[in-house]
Structure 1
Amino acid sequence: MADLMNSDVFLAFCTYATIVILKMMFMAPLTGYFRFTRKAFSNWEDTAMSKNPEARKKMLQTNPDVERVRRCHLNDLENIIPFVVIGLLYALTGPDLSTALLHFRVFVGSRFIHTASYVLALPQPSRGLSWVVGMITTFSMAYRVLTTALYL
C-alpha cells in the first residue's frame, strides 16, 4: 500500500480525479443559481420566497437554461464516475507516467470543454466531440485494465 501511495501515477490520478469531481460538484450550485435567477423551481416549497400563491405557481416551471445545466450535471455523473473507477484500476496496472498523464489530462480537458460547450450552448459538434474524446479515453484505460488482468 505504501508503494501505491508513493506512486507518481497514483498521485497524478488522485489529482486529476479530484479536479473532475470538484467540477462535477460545482454543477449543483450552478443549477441552483440558474433556478434562482430564472425563478424556475421543481418543488412547491422552493417557491416560498413569494407569499403570492399565483406568483408561486408561475415559479413551478421548467426553464431551458436550468434544464441545460441540469443535463450537463447528469452527463458528468454518467462519465466522471466511470472515469474515477476505471482510472483507479488503470493506475493499479502500473502504466508509464507519461501515458497515464496523457489519459488523465485528455479526459479532464474533454470534460471542461464539454461543460463549456453545454452551458454556453456552443454549436455542435463541440459538445459531441468533447464527449467522444472523454469516452475514448476511458475505454482506452479500461482496455489496459482488461488486457493486463488477462495476462496475469
Structure 2
Amino acid sequence: MAQAVVTEGLSIDNPLFRVYAFYCAVLVLKMMFIAVFTGMTRSKTKTFANPEDAAYRQGKVKQDDNVERVRRAHLNDVENIPIFLVVSLVYILTNPSYFLATLLIRAFTLARIIHTVVYAVVVIPQPARALSWSVGFGITGYMALQNLIYFCSCLAAAKLVDKGRVSKVSHGSTVGFKLNSDWLILKICESD
C-alpha cells in the first residue's frame, strides 16, 4: 500500500504534484539564470577566479565586489532551493491541503525570486533580503516539521500495531487504528 501512495502522490494525475513540478522548474531556471548572471558579471568586470579564464578574456584573477555579491546570491540559492525541493516533495506525500501546499510552494518561489533581485540584480538595503530569505526558510522549516509529525505518527502507529496494542483496519488509502475504543484515522501511513 505504501508504494501505491507514493505512486499516486507523485503522479501527473495529482494536481498538487503538477503545481510542485511547475514551480520546481521555475526555481531551477532561476538558479540557472543566476549562474549565467555570475559569468556575465565576471566578463563585464574582467574579473575571473581562474588564471586560464583571465588569460582567455584578457582579465585578471581578482575579486570584485559586484561579482562576489552575485556569487553569494547564487550560493544562497544552492544552500536553500535543493533542500526545499526535497522537503516539499515529501510534504506532498503527507496529503496536505491543496490550497495550503500551493500557497506555500508559490510563496517560497516568490521569496527566492525577490531574494535574488534585491541581493544581486537591483541591490536594495536590508531588511528586504533578510525578509525574503526568512519567508523561504520559514516555509521549508514548516514543511519539514509537518513531514516529521506525519511520519512519526505513522511510525508510532505501526509500532503499536506490531506490538498488538492497536487494531488496524485498512480501507482504500485510509488506515484506521483502534486504541481503547477511540479511532485514529491516518491517511496513507502503512509501513509495509
Report the TM-score, using the length of structure 2 for normalisation. Answer: 0.73
Q: Give the structure with the larger strand fraction.
A: 2
Q: 1:42 aligns with which of 43, 49, 52?
A: 49
Point out the more displaced range, 63-72 or 142-151: 142-151
Distance 2:20 2:48 in 1: 37
> Are residue 4 (structure 1) and residue 5 (structure 2) matched?
no
Q: Distance in 1 between matches of 2:103 and 2:119?
A: 24
Residue aligned with 1:48, SS: helix
Q: CA RMSD in A?
A: 1.3
> Mind listing any 5+ residue stretches in structure 2 that lack a counterpart?
1-6, 155-192
Deviates more, 1:7-16 or 1:126-135: 7-16
Decide which structure has the larger Cα Rg and report it: 2
Gaps of 5+ in 1: none
Query: Match of 1:133?
Result: 135
Matched, 1:111 2:103: no
Write the distance in 1 (CA, Å) between the matches of 2:33 and 2:9.
32
Give the aligned partner of residue 22 of structure 1.
Answer: 29
Tell me how far 1:2 sits from its aligned partner.
4.9
Q: Which one has more relative contact order, counting CA pairs under 8 Å at least 6 apart?
A: 1
Distance 1:124 1:2 in 2: 43
- Using the aligned pairs only, state the percent identity: 41
What residue identity is the alignment partner of 2:145? Answer: Y
Q: Which amino acid aligns with 1:129?
A: L
More helix by share: 1
Distance 1:42 1:12 in 2: 38
TM, length-normalised to structure 1: 0.91
